[in-house]
Amino acid sequence: MTLKQALRSGVAAACIASVAAPASIAAPAAEAAARASAKARGGLDVRVASAETFTRIEASGARITAKRDGQTVVLSYDRDGDPDIAHLRAQPPKWIKAAEKRHAGGHLQLVVTLADDADAKIGQADGATYVNFFAKAEPAPAAAGPETPAVEVAEAEPPRPDPLPKGGVVKMETKVANGQVQLSFAWANPAGAAVFHRGDAVWVVFDAPATLDVSSAPKGVKPLKGLQAFKGADHAALRIDADPDAPVFVSSIGNVWTVSLGPGPQAQPSIIRVTRDAAGGPATLKAPVAGATRVVELPDPVVGDTLTVVTALGPAKGVPSRRDYVDAALLPSIQGLAVEPLADDVAVKRDGEIVRITKSSGLSLSPAWATRDREEAALGAPQPAPMPAMIPADWSKTGPAGFLRRYEVLLSAASAEGGNRDRQSPIAARMALARFLIGSELSFEAIGVLNDLARTHPEMLDDPEFRGLRGVARTLARRYAEADADFSSPVLADDPSTALWRGYVDSQLAHYADARSQFIKGAQAYGLFAPIWKARFARADAQAALAQGDIVGADNRIQMALQEDLPPEEQLLARLVQAKVIELQGHKDRALRVYAAIARAPIDSISAPATLRATQIKLELGQVSPAQAAGVFDGLRYRWRGDATELETIRALGNLYLSQGRYREALEALRSAGGRLPDLPQAQQLQSDLAAAFRGLFLDGGADGLEPVQALALFYDFKELTPIGADGDLMVRKLVKRLVDVDLLPQAAELLKYQAENRLDGVPRAQVSTDLAVIYLMDRKPEMALEAINASRTTVLPTALNVERRLIEARAWMTVGKFDSALEIIEKDTSKEAGDLRAEIVWKKRDWAAAGPLFEKGLGERYKTATPLTADEEGRLIRAGVAYSLAGDDASLARLQARYQGFYEKANNPEALRIALSGVPTGRLSVADFSRVSADNETFAGWVDKMKGRFKTRPAPVGTAKAAAAPTKPVAPAAAKQAQAKAGTAKG
């Protein structure tokens, strides 16, 4: 006995006694009940409890039948035993005269004699048989006046509005649509009805004696063959001849009942549960019928007998299948109850919403325990299949008791077995439960049972059936990688049933060549599977054939699938693959019609992929615009989620957006899938599409048409897509070039700073840091330029890069006023760039004597070429003249004038050039006189233009990447990247 049963039986009796009875009675009774229960544990059990108005005896521990003979109640056990009834015999409680045990033929009988003023009621609950003893009812006083026959008086029910319309005629309205015939009956008020099958006929019975006008009945319309109306004293009925396979639906809206014949979307009726009445007395069947209104005796003119029908108000409720008993049969009904009596005195009584079927001596019913055990014995535990990875059809059988009862029986056995964690404990019950769960396609539950079994019995990992079962369960759960690990176990290497499953898994993972090979290996086991799995394997084989371009093979496989007897859902899935075959055969119009038909299915998992392909074909054929197709795809990705269809829809939407130039929406759509369903091949394809779209925008020039600010914002929002290595660095540099061109220097600096600090190391970092320092100088931030140079120093740098870094560093020191430091850094550099920078430094230092010769040296022998001076050459010449004038070097000034006076006329600023080279009458010029023509910003602007040009032609850095650190700002691509090529030598 379980804890739940114990709480509901003996303990409950003791609690009732302690609450309902006075202390003088309740305490000893509760004590006795507890004492008896404790002593009887493990054997036969008798419990006694008393309350103020009744005494209860419960008997359990074996199969027990109870019967009453006058003032004696006999409880008969199916085996012998010696329960403790000492207290019951010594001090019989109220309403019990005596109790004794009898032993005969290996069985025990407990005989209880009632007191003279006592009555008893026998029942069953929670596996125990009980007898309630209570005071006998006083006889009712005789009524004054003439004697009348005694009748059973039910509690008065509130009057119900009369459903009969004026005139007593109810006209049947008929409607035919989509192959379904609908017959409607409008009443004045809600009427009770019953609708049931008997043979090929459908009976419709109403609880009001109306005349049914069926003159509008259609003729020659399937599935309706004919109908006949009847009228009784308390009812109206309609007998309909219909096709035997035609489904029947019933609905009730207000005062109107509608009976529909033929397929169509209709709600299914709720089920009326018919059970054995456990209240004791003669054996009786009991059924709760919500809204029951009347018990009608209905003559059947065809069979020649009389049925008993129980009508009820809507909504529809019925008995889904025929129930046969010895004395009566319940006919399958869509609404109400219909009883076919098989014995003369069968009676159907209604007590409110409870309907009882009985007869005077009781129905011939088997005890509940006998019926249950017989069913379970006949069904048995699911047995191993002939091959390790097969699913026999009988694994999912539940028997008449239904799924829950079957599950509870198997689970209880498995739980009892699993309570012993010893490795030597049996495993049969747990394996049986796993088979049942797999047969019922409850994959996750089966995985849990099998994983627990593997923890307690590791040797099961070498068992072929265990590996096969868990592989199947994982496949059903779409855990394909885990399933493949089980199916790849050496113990299943030569099993053809496993080969079919491996082919199915490989097809789902897009390993199409392997899938086709495995399906060939498993061909000999194909015919041993249930039709539904034969169709699924054939469908997967067809998909693999399509992926490899074998259209003929795919067509053959899908025809094999369609030959099986399949439920509608599986048929539609096969048709979906067939439509793909038709499409690849070049018949797009025909394929479109098939897709469109499947898209109307009420199952979203099937209609969603059909809608996707239908829309794609319409787009190809020009039947819808890209904007219309995008709207369909956008809605579809939210309508159905969780499998490959979702990912394919997102891919289609993203690629459509890209083709329309809607870059942000495309990236957002492709990124919306995230890391969902990573095992599916479509997930990898989607990530490839996303990476390719980002690369096309920022590496191949797709985003060049965007404004630089828009491109920058788009890059920031999807920076995590930046690829590893040189391609990612090149993306950043290309974007930096665009930002520099439009003077978005702070944004360009942030990109390069993140790249230098988080993505690169060694030479590449030094090169990027040098560019970063240049941008800082262009943005007039020399201190930050020096920080960038200092933070990227390393012992191994190419000579050219070292020279460039010294020039940048010297310019930074010059900008902050550290002229001597700037000159010291480039002291040994004899390049033209160093000479130009040295001239700028001494100019800023106001060392006029040194500045003049340096500017003149920068011009070289330019005076020998007659072409006009460039702006840069003109600036140097002006500065040279000013420096000579301020240094008092008249000879040098006269030399410059003699060499360059022929360039005055074609100069950009001839007056400034003439003044700089001629001086004033005194021969001297002040600094203020030439500030207008030799301002520093002109030189700076020239240098900035030169740097912008260099950014346009400079190649991306190539070198060693380093592990990425988390960015402090969300401004650049994330993550550490792979190794890059080694760099040259030198020190910076």
Contact 267, 335 (CB under 8 A): no
Judging by beta carbons within 10 Å of its beta carbon (0-12, 13-18, 19+), is residue 266 exposed, middle or buried?
middle
The pLDDT value given to residue 987: 35
Residues 639-648: tens digit of each pLDDT? 888 778 888 8
The pLDDT value given to residue 2: 37
Helices 568-584 & 531-547, crossing angle to 10 degrees? 20
Residues 123-154: tens digit of each pLDDT? 665 556 778 888 887 765 544 444 433 333 34
Contact 318, 336 (CB under 8 A): yes
Please state whether the peptide bond connecting residue 315 to the residue before it is cis, i.e. omega within 30 degrees of 0: yes
Asked whether the predicted pLDDT for residue 909 surpasses 50, the reply is: yes
- Virtual CA dihedral for 973, 978, 982, 986, nearest 10 degrees? 40
In which residue are the tokens 């003032």 written?
71
The topology (CATH level 3) of 3-135 is Immunoglobulin-like (2.60.40)
Contact 873, 900 (CB under 8 A): no
In a 13 Å sphere around the CA of 879, the CA atoms on its Cβ side amount to 31
Contact 257, 184 (CB under 8 A): yes
- Virtual CA dihedral for 581, 587, 591, 593, nearest 10 degrees? -160
The topology (CATH level 3) of 494-585 is 1.25.40
DSSP 914-968: HHHHH--TTS---HHHHTTTS-HHHHHHHHHHHHHHHHHHPPPP-SEE-PPPPPS
Residue 910, SS3 per DSSP: helix
Return the CA Rg of the chain: 48
The pLDDT value given to residue 919: 63
DSSP 32-90: HHHHHHHHHTTS-EEEEEE-SS-EEEEEESS-EEEEEETTEEEEEESS------HHHHH
List the strands of the sheet with 55-60, edge to edge: 45-50, 55-60, 128-135, 118-125
Helices 762-778 & 936-953, crossing angle to 10 degrees? 150
Residues 556-573: tens digit of each pLDDT? 999 999 998 899 999 999
Domain definitions of the chain by residue range = 3-135, 166-362, 379-493, 494-585, 639-669+683-721, 745-988
β-strand pairing of 169-177 with 211-213: parallel
Asked whether the predicted pLDDT for residue 595 surpasses 90, the reply is: yes
DSSP 789-810: HHHT--S---HHHHHHHHHHHH
β-strand pairing of 323-324 with 236-242: unpaired
Average pLDDT, the chain: 81
**Which residues lie closer than 8 Å to 463 by C-beta, 6 or more apart?**
491
Q: How far apart are CA 673 and CA 311, in angstroms?
A: 54
Contact 69, 51 (CB under 8 A): no
Number of neighbours of residue 820 by Cβ within 10 angstroms: 10
Q: How far apart are CA 737 and CA 194, in angstroms?
A: 83
Q: How far apart are CA 152 and CA 146, in angstroms?
A: 18
Strand partners, 59: 46, 129
Residue type at 974? A
Cα-based distances in Å from 884 to 309, 794, 819, 840, 922: 127, 42, 20, 15, 14
Residue 752, SS3 per DSSP: helix
**Highest averaged pLDDT of the listed ranges 59-68, 374-383, 466-475, 880-889:** 466-475
Q: How far apart are CA 695 and CA 702, in angstroms?
A: 8
The pLDDT value given to residue 311: 96
The pLDDT value given to residue 377: 44
**Which residues lie closer than 8 Å to 211 by C-beta, 6 or more apart?**
168, 169, 170, 229, 231, 236
- pLDDT bin (cut points 50, 70, 90) of residue 34 is very low
In the chain, pLDDT over 90 holds for what percent of residues? 38
- pLDDT bin (cut points 50, 70, 90) of residue 32 is very low
Tokens at 497, concatenated: 């049933």
Q: How far apart are CA 767 and CA 733, in angstroms?
A: 12
Query: Residue 282 gets which letter from DSSP?
Result: S
Report field, pTM of the whole predicted structure over 0.85: no
Contact 916, 885 (CB under 8 A): yes
The pLDDT value given to residue 266: 66
**Highest averaged pLDDT of the listed ranges 247-251, 293-297, 521-525:** 293-297
**Which residues lie closer than 8 Å to 187 by C-beta, 6 or more apart?**
163, 164, 165, 170, 206, 208, 210, 255, 256, 257
Asked whether the predicted pLDDT for residue 924 surpasses 70, the reply is: no
Tokens at 488, concatenated: 């790849």
Q: How far apart are CA 854 and CA 888, in angstroms?
A: 16
Q: Which phi and psi angles does 97 have, rounded to 5°?
A: -90, -45
The topology (CATH level 3) of 745-988 is 1.25.40
User: Closest by alpha carbon to 298, among 244, 336, 326, 250?
Assistant: 336
Contact 882, 925 (CB under 8 A): yes
Q: Which phi and psi angles does 555 have, rounded to 5°?
A: -65, -40
End-to-end CA distance of the chain: 86
User: Closest by alpha carbon to 583, among 545, 537, 614, 553?
Assistant: 614
Tokens at 517, concatenated: 């090979």
**Highest averaged pLDDT of the listed ranges 153-157, 374-378, 672-676:** 672-676
Q: How far apart are CA 583 and CA 581, in angstroms?
A: 5
β-strand pairing of 292-300 with 760-761: unpaired
User: Closest by alpha carbon to 759, among 974, 984, 969, 958?
Assistant: 974
The pLDDT value given to residue 344: 85
In which residue are the tokens 């535990």 written?
381
Residues 67-88: tens digit of each pLDDT? 777 788 888 776 777 888 877 7
- pLDDT bin (cut points 50, 70, 90) of residue 204 is very high
Asked whether the predicted pLDDT for residue 929 surpasses 60, the reply is: no
In the chain, pLDDT over 70 holds for what percent of residues? 82
Asked whether the predicted pLDDT for residue 31 surpasses 60, the reply is: no
Please state whether the peptide bond connecting residue 223 to the residue before it is cis, i.e. omega within 30 degrees of 0: yes
Q: Which phi and psi angles does 758 have, rounded to 5°?
A: -120, -20
| Long-range Cβ pairs for the range 223-226 (8 Å, 24+) | 223/181, 223/261, 223/262, 224/181, 224/261
The pLDDT value given to residue 850: 92
**Which residues lie closer than 8 Å to 80 by C-beta, 6 or more apart?**
103, 106, 107, 108
**Which residues lie closer than 8 Å to 331 by C-beta, 6 or more apart?**
196, 197, 198, 307, 319, 322, 338, 339, 340
Cα-based distances in Å from 730 to 346, 735, 743: 92, 9, 20
Q: Which CATH class is domain 379-493?
A: mainly alpha
- pLDDT bin (cut points 50, 70, 90) of residue 191 is very high
Q: How far apart are CA 781 and CA 465, in angstroms?
A: 74
Q: How far apart are CA 128 and CA 46, in angstroms?
A: 10
Q: How far apart are CA 467 and CA 601, in angstroms?
A: 37
The pLDDT value given to residue 365: 78
The pLDDT value given to residue 78: 66
Alpha helical stretches, state H, 622-707:
626-639, 644-659, 663-671, 681-698
Q: How far apart are CA 128 and CA 9, in angstroms?
A: 7
Exposure string for 466-484, b = 16+ CB within 10 A, e = fewer: bbbbbbbbbbbbbbbebbb
